[in-house]
Structure 1
Amino acid sequence: MAFVMTLLAAFTFVTAQAATPRLERQGSTMRLIVNDEPLLLLGGELGNSSASSAAYMAPYWPKLKQMNLNTVLAPVSWELVEPVEGQFDWRSFDQLLKDARAHDMKLVLLWFGAWKNSMSTYVPSWVKRDQARFPRVQLPNGQSTEILSAFSTATRDADARAFAALLSHIKAVDAKQSTVVMVQVENEIGMLPVAREYGAEANRLFADRVPAELMRHLDASRVHQTGLHKLWAEQGGKSEGTWTEVFGEGDASAEAFTAWHYSRFVEALVVAGKAAYPLPMYVNAALNRMNKAPGEYPSGGPLPHLLDVWKAGAPSLDLLAPDIYFPNFVDLAARFRRADNAVFIPEANNSDKPEVPANAFYAFGKLDAIGFSPFSIESIADRKPNPLADAYAVLRQLSPAILSAQGLNRMSGFRPRILEDETVIDMPVTEDIGNYSFTVSFIDPWTPEAEQRTATHGGLIIQTGPEDYLIAGQGIVVTAKPIGTGPPLAGIDHAWEGRFDQQGRWISGRLLNGDQTHQGRHVRLAPGQFQIQQVRFYRYR
């Protein structure tokens, strides 16, 4: 009997472990697994202060549900949960959890610990007021700033203890339900207004040798020759020495130094948190504009040119994620799609930006994103019409097909490329998916060009069978050409508009032909209305 009980206990433990949200590889990407099923995060991030008041949030929860979200990104701030050192108050979090469950929402928690948007304003009063124990960053002139030093072991250990306590509490109250599916560690870490801090310990370490583990990582990854790899190559690829000896004089070496020590600080939190409850964890980046020097943006965060420093310094992190508030979404998001990094966009611009829905289709279709989430989601909860809600309605219906195709080269997303100066490149785009090469145009031939805003046009194509495809979005026109041997022309066997019901069954609408397909020449999704078409192609001579 004792042996049987031991086996039963072991089985129970394994089952509980399997239910913990996690990332799993499929093909060339990773998927988020929750309750042992893949989940696509159709999210929205709350304003920084919204989640601190249950009364403030009460009218918004049903509205967010009506907007077709399945996930809310919500801050949990250190000052609220540990107002007195060692005494934790979980009431605000527990109410957040209760409200999310009541509206069938998942949560991604944002830990506002030592840093939020570079600064340290969300730490408890007992941390703010004890500068001897919790020192601040020092500038070159000796002046301190409202940024806690990454070189303080007392700060790191206090932050890690609070973070681990949060994860332990989540496990205690949520392990069975898995309402909380991921955790963000800190928020938009970065140094301002200089590239590194200048306290005594920082100065000592900057004059010391670059850590061997960072150099080994760069050496193993140097084939990329981008970002820090390129800088390293330009310095002759020196494999040891001080930061300036390896990466050169100036801000570049200072920023690499900052990134390394920020990542090591975060690694301590992640290790402590995962020891309590191993939820997926990530760090988000406040991106830099072109031609801005370190210090003119939050420097040392997980920026595209510093991703390998972060990968080396915080190996326990599951992914690094961009916050994208600049127009050039296509270019910026793509820099985070790597073999060792799943794409998640926790702040995909402000929710009211008209191009956000098209970015969502692109992120899921082209980049195999696990989730997408514009900021200040409650600010558009009453908006009518609501393009994001309409886009999420379609993406929610398509989630099983998207999840099935991710990482397997059976899907892509399309939208016009927009440059940082807001120039819209709306030339057609061609991609091979399955047995056909598709050309997607963003200018609708049946709508006056003056009435079109092509920056908002976009969609995705998913292969569901040898000749079967789902085409969804708005403002796109799709033509097809066969790939490989056989008859050289592609025709449309049939194109049905329709939708998927809550059980995932396809409900057909009109069978489109004639004017709707321009006599079989193309598949058209008109501007202004997100839709799905189920299309079968065929070959002919």
Structure 2
Amino acid sequence: MENTFLRDAQGKPFMPIGLQAHNSSTGTALIKKAVRAVKLYGGNCLETPVYWYRIEPEMDCYDFSMVKDVIEEAREAGLHLILLWFGTSKNGHPNYVPEYIKLQPDIYRLAQGPDGAPVPSLSVHCRETLERDKKAFGRFMEFLKEADGESRTVLAVQIENEMGYANTDMDYSAEARRDYEKPVPGALAGVELPDSGRELIGEGKEASAWKRQFGRHAHEAFSAWYHARYIDEVASAGKAAYALPCFTNVMVGEQGYEEPGLCYNAGAAVGRVLDIWKAGAPHLDFIGPDIYNQNRREYTRICRAYAREDNPLFIPESPIRGVANAMNALLAAADYGATGICCFGAESALDEEGNLLEECRDMALTMRILSAMSPLLIHYRNTGCVHAFAEDEFETSHYLKLPEYHVTAKYLRSAAMYTGYTTDTHSEAGKKKLQVRGRALLVQTGPNEFYLCGAGVGLDFYRRPDPADESCYSHLHSRQSGQLNFLSVEEGHFENGEWVTELVRNGDETNFSHYVLDGQLIRIRLNPNTGMSAE
């Protein structure tokens, strides 16, 4: 899978770890609160919306002062931005379009449900709406190039928000029905959807071409294609003005009984129709799922669907609080090569005094771990060298087999462990460090070199027997084959991509396990020489 990341002004890969502001915060004092929350989460990026109706309050009259202000706010705080274009669609609804769009439904048409009544979504079969969105987005991108083209505070732009039809599986208007009767576009030749039942339809003339190819998912496939083409035209217009990465986010389909218009917006780039979207929107750099699913099976299923050769996994929205998301985010980074993870609702993470709410500390801890490890996550993405430990329910330890080592992770809530005198685990605050649900990232950077960052975890390394060793049992049983046989163990951090040592561990701090308690990052250099001969 291609090692694709967003890039900063110097062209270096950049992994956004951050928060998204609430929908109405841009242009208000709430942005300062959002910025503070990002800092407390250890993040490097703020996602925030820009509003079509504010940018174009009257037809062809543009005002970008709001955009200028938020760029300056982020730049001053040392953060990058991902701006969200709230245009035709916000969760499928046209809330953020200018009033001249809302007041002329005969020109800028709403989609229709099967009963002919309008639904609260603009039709993607309406060329007039598309042309106005394209023009406004193009002007917006022109402004970004002028205001930020050199500084590159803005990393990327999200086009629309969770686009799709609300309360219907397709647009049933006369215009849409005419499109539905056309042949399936050649770009979709060979595309099949799972569990479509198409084999039961046959070649009867009574079935449309969409129905013959996509079976029970025909209406969804049709809606997906036209939504993809709509967004692709907007993206193309924007990139013609400023070649900044563009993407769209998705109200995921892996929920409920997975029927469009009922469980999620119809036409959205859900996993089922992702092939259609990739064919229909080539100007999008990636498509990012908003994952609020806490169940680990659902979460990882979504990650698998979007982590593709042609689609690096980027998660633009996830819960700002909760233990489940704090565990799952590490799996996204390690097991599915996530190139960025953000949480929604920055301002809601803080109390009235601007302090982090207790229920947000778990997710903030995980975000700090991701940020601390981001240089390694960028360099070692999809190499098989990145491993996650995320304490599951009823789990007390976790085993990882590496080519040269057995690695056992002990979760310290369940396994009491001596952690050395330099770490406070005896005061009330210190005892809390041992009660956190265990989570960590382990990156192997050489045959015997590892970086471990996390909380509530202790690792033991045991060198696996040499294939030619006839005394493998006694050698493996020796403590010299374990984590005690190290060259160095260092606490530290990365600074401009370079490792900086803050403390060298030894003695009591290394005799029992290599541990991390509250987001620490340690470098472990094991000794390749066990001192034991295979003869």
Note if contact 2:198-2:212 (Cα within 8 Å) is conserved in structure 1: no
Which protein is bigger by CA-based radius of gyration? 2
- Contact between 2:37 and 2:356, CA under 8 Å: does it hold in 1? no
Please give the per-residue CA displacement for 1:8-54, whole angstroms capped at 9, x wherever unaligned: xxxxxxxxxxxxxxxxxxx643122222111111111111111132x
Q: Is 1:279 equivalent to 2:235 in the alignment? A: no
Deviation at 1:237, TM superposition (A): 11
Q: Is this contact kept in 2: 1:499–1:506, CA < 8 A?
A: yes
Mapped pair 1:138 → 2:105 = no
Aligned-partner SS, 1:44: strand
What 5-or-longer segments of structure 2 have no aligned partner? 418-431
- Following the alignment from structure 1 to structure 2, what is the Cα–Cα distance between the partners of residues 537 and 308? 45
Q: Map 1:217-236; keep pairs closer than 5 Å.
A: 218=191, 228-229=193-194, 231=196
In structure 1, runs of 5+ residues without a counterpart are 1-26, 223-227, 418-423
Q: Give the Å deviation of 1:330.
A: 2.8
Q: How does 1:142-541 map to 2 (within 5 A)?
A: 142-216=116-190, 218=191, 228-229=193-194, 231=196, 242-248=209-215, 250=216, 252-288=217-253, 289-296=255-262, 297-328=264-295, 329-349=299-319, 351-381=320-350, 382-383=355-356, 386-416=361-391, 424=393, 426=395, 430-431=399-400, 435-436=404-405, 438-440=407-409, 442=411, 444-447=413-416, 456-480=437-461, 482=463, 485=467, 489=476, 490-492=481-483, 493-494=485-486, 496=489, 498-500=491-493, 502=495, 504-509=498-503, 511=505, 518=512, 522-526=513-517, 529-538=518-527, 540=530
Of the structure 1 ranges 465-474 and 56-65, higher mean CA displacement relative to structure 2 is found in: 56-65
Give the whole-Å Cα distance in 1 for the aligned partners of 2:27 and 2:402: 46
Which stretch shifts more, 172-181 or 185-194? Answer: 185-194
Note closer, same or farther for the CA distance 1:139–1:498 as it changes in structure 2 (3 Å cut): same
CA 406–136 in structure 1, closer or farther in 2 if over 3 Å, else same:
same
Identical-residue share of aligned pairs (%): 27
Indicate conservation of the 8 Å contact 1:355/1:456, yes or no: no
SS of 1:120's equivalent in the other structure is coil
Give the TM-score normalised by the residue count of structure 2: 0.83
Change over 3 Å in CA distance of 1:369–1:486 after alignment to 2: farther
Taking a change above 3 Å as real, the CA distance of residues 513 and 257 of structure 1, as seen in their structure-2 partners, is farther
Matched positions, count: 488
Question: Which residue type is aligned with residue 260 of structure 2?
Answer: P
Per the alignment, do residues 60 and 30 of structure 1 end up closer, same or farther by CA in structure 2, a change over 3 Å counting? Answer: closer
What one-letter code is carried by the residue in structure 1 that aligns with 2:283? Answer: S
Distance 1:337-1:480 versus aligned 2 partners, 3 A rule: farther
* Counterparts of 1:88 and 1:167, CA distance in 2: 12
Q: Determine the structure 2 residue equivalent to 1:4.
A: none
The CA distance in 2 between the partners of 1:237 and 1:48, in whole Å, is 47
Runs of 4+ displaced beyond 6 Å: 451-455
Aligned-partner Cα distance in 1 for 2:468–2:70: 58
Equivalent positions of 1:40-189 (< 5 A) are 40-53=15-28, 55-189=29-163
Cα distance in structure 1, aligned partners of 2:444 and 2:468: 19
**Alpha-carbon separation, structure 2, partners of 1:151 and 1:103:** 42
Output the amino acid matched with 1:466. Answer: P
* 3-state SS in 2 of match to 1:30: coil
Contact 2:20 2:344 in 1 (8 A): yes
Structure 1-normalised TM-score? 0.82
Specify whether residues 505 and 247 from structure 1 end up closer, same or farther in structure 2 by C-alpha distance, changes over 3 A only: closer
Q: Contact 1:118/1:190 (CA < 8 Å) preserved in 2?
A: yes
- Corresponding residue of 1:24: none
**Local SS of the residue matching 2:172:** coil
Task: Say whether the 8 Å CA contact 1:435–1:482 is kept in structure 2.
Answer: yes
**Aligned-pair distance for 1:397?**
3.0
Change in 2 beyond 3 A, CA 1:159/1:523: same
Query: Match for 1:246: what amino acid?
Result: Q
CA RMSD of aligned residues (A): 2.9
